[in-house]
Structure 1
Amino acid sequence: MKTELVHIGTIGKPHGVRGLVHLHPYVENPKDLEDFGELVDDRGERWTIVWQNSKVAALYDGQKKRVEDRTAVEKLTNRKLFVPRELLPEPEEDEFYFSDLIGLQAKIKRADQSEAVFGTVHIVHDYGAGVSLEIKRDQGENALIPFTKLCVPEIDIKSGWLLVNPPNEVEVRPSNVKDQS
């Protein structure tokens, strides 16, 4: 059985010239990244971290050798860090790991209250202003749905589906109409 990995952080830009990095944790308590011990990146390389302050860390490779210069750290920028799922606690009710949402069937309710397949959750986006789900559709373009209680009112991870209420599309003015203001 393949071990499921969960994305818990990303290596950011270098901090100074001595190999320190800005680290972007995706866990409630950033100290957890250090406490997990060995992390694996998106290229299969293993790392441990030691926080230097609330946003800056020292990196140690799989042989426990510290990355000590800015040039080496620059090559690691944007690497994603993962931990095996079994090391994470079970989420509370109405909490989800993004990896649990990927692959869920997205259903939509029709006017007559019957359900239809809308697509499949393909990607979970989080750029800091709110989470959105990218739904892969069989026909047409993928749909981007805000991950809010209004747009995603029901989720059943165990049964493998979620219900979506896509927001009405914003009307776009034709490009040949000039603004009168």
Structure 2
Amino acid sequence: MSDDLIQVGRVAGAFGVRGEVRITSFTADPVALLDYRDLKREDGAPALTLLAGRPAKGGIVARAKEIETREQAEALRGLKLFIPRSTLPETDDEDEFYVTDLIGLAVETPEGEPLGAIRSVQDFGAGDLLEILPPEGGATWYLPFTKEAVPEVRLAAGKVIGVRPQEVE
């Protein structure tokens, strides 16, 4: 995947019989996908050109230039959708960032002891969790992405300050 692409959604399948497609959105406002319009594949090749859409649970239902039938929409199920990083607005302050900026950052205790590196950011329904790969390798573990568990994000330093899992209440 190109480093300048950010995943903003995934095709969830067909909707109805007229070629509309359900898209799970990974944006704060699912309807923002319509503003990006030209969505890319993981390799940067064109994926979908959104023409119109409406909000739906967890995302949008949209018409795309490339899809005319239900079968075509269903065939795209699972397709990851990306936009160029350059199309996103710049963040205004150090406390504002994109979730994708966290991937790969080191995790340290407030005392500077390494806890690992952020492998992914997940949300299983109860809020964001940082998946941490321990420094010595082995099984990953999850750290809630809350102010209590992660009091500081230092993007410029390439790290976040976190607490040990047993210290999170």
Regarding TM over 0.5, the answer is yes
Partner in structure 2 of residue 33 of structure 1 = 33
TM-score (normalizing by structure 2): 0.83
Partner in structure 1 of residue 117 of structure 2 = 120
Change (3 A) 1:78 1:37: same
- Which blocks of at least 5 consecutive residues in structure 1 are unaligned? 61-65, 171-181
3-state SS, counterpart of residue 7 of structure 1: strand
Does residue 148 (structure 1) correspond to residue 146 (structure 2)? The answer is: yes
Give the CA deviation at 1:166: 2.8
- d(CA) in 2 for partners of 1:169 and 1:71? 50
Q: State the identity %.
A: 36
Deviation sequence 1:112-136 (CA, Å, 0-9, x none): xx31111111111123321101111
Give the CA deviation at 1:162: 0.3
Change (3 A) 1:163 1:169: closer
Q: Does the CA-based 8 Å contact 2:18-2:69 persist in structure 1?
A: yes
Larger radius of gyration: 1
Q: Does the CA-based 8 Å contact 2:106-2:114 persist in structure 1?
A: yes
Change (3 A) 1:92 1:27: farther
Deviation sequence 1:119-169 (CA, Å, 0-9, x none): 111111123321101111132421211111111111111110001113328
3-state SS, counterpart of residue 168 of structure 1: helix
Alignment RMSD (CA, Å): 2.2
- d(CA) in 1 for partners of 2:3 and 2:103? 16
TM-score (normalizing by structure 1): 0.78
Partner in structure 2 of residue 12 of structure 1 = 12
Give the CA deviation at 1:71: 1.7
- d(CA) in 2 for partners of 1:88 and 1:76? 25
Deviation sequence 1:11-70 (CA, Å, 0-9, x none): 11210122111122222333432222321123544121123322210122xxxxx31112
- Which blocks of at least 5 consecutive residues in structure 2 are unaligned? none
1:118 is matched by which residue type in structure 2?
Answer: L
2:132 is matched by which residue type in structure 1?
Answer: I
- d(CA) in 2 for partners of 1:38 and 1:103? 28
Aligned residues: 160
